[in-house]
Structure 1
Amino acid sequence: MTRATLDKQPHEVASMFDDVAANYDLTNDVLSLGQDRRWRRQVAKAVDARPGQRVLDLAAGTGTSSLPFVEDGAYVVPCDFSLGMLREGKRRHPWLPLTAGDATRLPFRDGAFDAVTISFGLRNVQDTDAALSELYRVTKPGGRVVICEFSHATWAPFRTVYEEYLMRALPPVARAVSSNPDAYVYLAESIQSWPGQPELAALLQRAGWTKVAWRNLTGGIVALHRGTKPLDA
């Protein structure tokens, strides 16, 4: 799959991530010029996991994104639909409870988690509304959601430069560091196809989340969305 459409076939997307699992974290670090580490620190700060809390880290890939929650003393469940990613994660972090799961049909009971989070994975889900509803379902009343996702730069000149980088510079860089550079062409196109910050906030509200807000990171090329499940839900 080399074209990004919003009609994504789950088996195709999963297969794509299976192919890049071994070098995925390194490739992201190179392509983002190291910014991905800063973004993940901001996610951990927003989730604000506490000792004893249960955190769902959806689209966790190899589990790297879950480690900050473990350091905060929470019980974290890394979940992903790419078995290749999970196998690589189990090789690196055999003690993590890595779990296979589809974002639109999560294998967890209602209200199982104090906090749920997904970083750079929501745009790869076939049905965004279903995923947001599932995250809502498995969160305790009063619990929180944090979504970190590529978005749209807020300053027009920077947006032009960034989009040029995505479509012109990213493919050759991906060819140099990735085992499947076509996957990164798809990922670049999926970023351009993804809704902007206000549109994603509206989708969160439609799924039932309240106190929805977002904060732009790196000029808006990434946005950190937050929401709360009502206590009376």
Structure 2
Amino acid sequence: MSKADLSKQPAQVSAMFDDVSTHYDRTNNVLSVGNAFLWRVATTKAVEPEWGERILDLAAGTGTSSASLAKSGAQVVAADFSPGMIEVGKRQQAGNPRVEFVVADGMNLPFDDDEFDAVTISFGLRNIVEPRVALAELYRVTKPGGRIVICEFSTPPITPIRLGYSLYLQRVMPGLAKVASSNPAAYTYLAESIKDWPNQQTLSRWLRETGFTHVGYRNLTAGIVALHRGTKPEIAPAATAAASPETALPQSAAASATQ
């Protein structure tokens, strides 16, 4: 069984996700204690997909998130670095003409400049060896005026919750992974990558430095997960000398349910 480490070598990461692809969605539901569905609903609402839009769902895995976005009538490209995930996704979404699967490297996307009305990535940015390179690629393929939404594990701001979550990652999750996953060793990497990932303010800063404006984030499930959002400006970044301050995102019923 494959297990990546925090060097996040692409071949290791791809092989690890190939190994877990068959039971990936089931394992996510178990390890998130049912919150995976709520996070997906919140992410879809934040993207605000509209009929006829072209949306990139990077690190789409088996395409569950892509199918949620496509319900709006948008055309969704489900891109992932793991061929195993893509194959499972193609089978699961075989009857969905609005979801197209593509094997893609997040640091070298095979798409044209300004191609997508919106781009999104859920629980995948921290698995990329150079996440800021991936952000630059997502910026490149987003149309001016288009939007980015990132759903990622983060740092709970309340100390007791942060300590309790750390205990869950170290003690509880490995046992659940043994029951639910085809490759429980991979979920040791999951815990390590979450603990190593920067906090909400740092990812917000990365988005602004990439060029996105109107950057903001909202904590879900008490900050275990954070939902980040930004916009690619209609004009060149050099003309927007004053960087947009971090803004609070509006609440939605689905998002409130996860807090």
Q: TM-score, normalised by structure 1?
A: 0.97
Given the superposition, is the C-alpha separation of residues 33 and 198 from structure 1 closer, same or farther in structure 2, using an over 3 Å criterion? same
Q: Does structure 2 conserve the Cα–Cα contact (< 8 Å) formed by 1:4 and 1:193?
A: no
Question: What is the CA–CA distance in structure 1 between the aligned matches of 2:161 and 2:112, rounded to whole Å?
Answer: 43
CA contact (8 A) 2:156 2:224 kept: yes
Counterpart contact for 1:3–1:189, Cα < 8 Å: no
> What letter is aligned with 1:80?
D
Corresponding position of 1:176: 179
How many Å apart are 1:43 and its aligned residue? Answer: 0.3
Question: What's 1:201 paired with?
Answer: 204
CA contact (8 A) 1:209 1:227 kept: yes
Q: Per-residue CA shift, 1:87-135, capped at 9, x if unaligned?
A: 1111111243100100000000000000000000000001111100000
Aligned to 1:25: 25
1:151 paired with 2:183, answer no
Instruction: Tell me, in whole angstroms, the C-alpha distance in 1 between the residues paired with 2:4 and 2:115.
Output: 36
> Are residues 68 and 2 of structure 1, via their aligned partners in 2, closer, same or farther at CA, if it must alter by over 3 Å?
closer
**For residues 208 and 189 of structure 2, what CA distance do their matches in structure 1 show?**
28
Alpha-carbon distance in structure 1 between the residues aligned to 2:148 and 2:197:
19
Partner of 1:164: 167
Query: 1:64 is matched with which residue?
Result: 64
CA deviation profile, 1:125-146 (whole Å, cap 9, x unmatched)? 0111110000000000000000
Instruction: Specify the alignment match of 2:120 in structure 1.
Output: 117
Kindly provide the CA deviation profile for residues 153-205 of structure 1, in whole angstroms up to 9, marking residues without a partner as x: 11100111111001111111101111100101101110000000000001111
Q: Hey, what's the Cα distance between the residues in 2 that align with 1:188 and 1:77?
A: 28
Distance 1:68 1:174 in 2: 25
Aligned twin of 1:92: 92
Could you say which residue in structure 2 is the equivalent of 1:83? Answer: 83
The answer to whether residue 137 in structure 2 is matched with residue 134 in structure 1 is: yes
Q: Distance in 2 between matches of 1:176 and 1:68?
A: 27
- In structure 2, what is the Cα distance between the partners aligned to 1:3 and 1:187? 9
Give unpaired runs (5+ residues) of structure 1: none
Give 2:229's aligned amino acid: R
How far apart in 1 are the matches of 2:189 and 2:208? Answer: 28
Q: 1:8 Cα deviation (Å)? A: 1.3
My pick for the range that moved more, 66-75 or 136-145, is: 66-75
- Structure 2: runs of 5 or more not aligned: 237-259
Q: Which moved further from structure 2: 66-75 or 144-153?
A: 66-75
CA RMSD of aligned residues (A): 1.0
Supply the distance in 2 between the matched residues of 1:68 and 1:24 (Cα, whole angstroms): 17
1:24-57 deviation per Cα after TM superposition (whole angstroms, max 9, x unaligned): 0000000101001000100000000000111000
- In structure 1, what is the equivalent of residue 240 of structure 2? none
Quick check: 1:231 aligned with 2:229? no
How far 1:86 moved relative to its partner?
0.3
Contact 1:132 1:204 in 2 (8 A): yes
Aligned length: 232
Name the TM-score, length of structure 2 as normaliser. Answer: 0.88
Percent of counterpart pairs with the same letter? 55
- Distance in 2 (CA, whole Å) between partners of 1:101 and 1:18 is 14
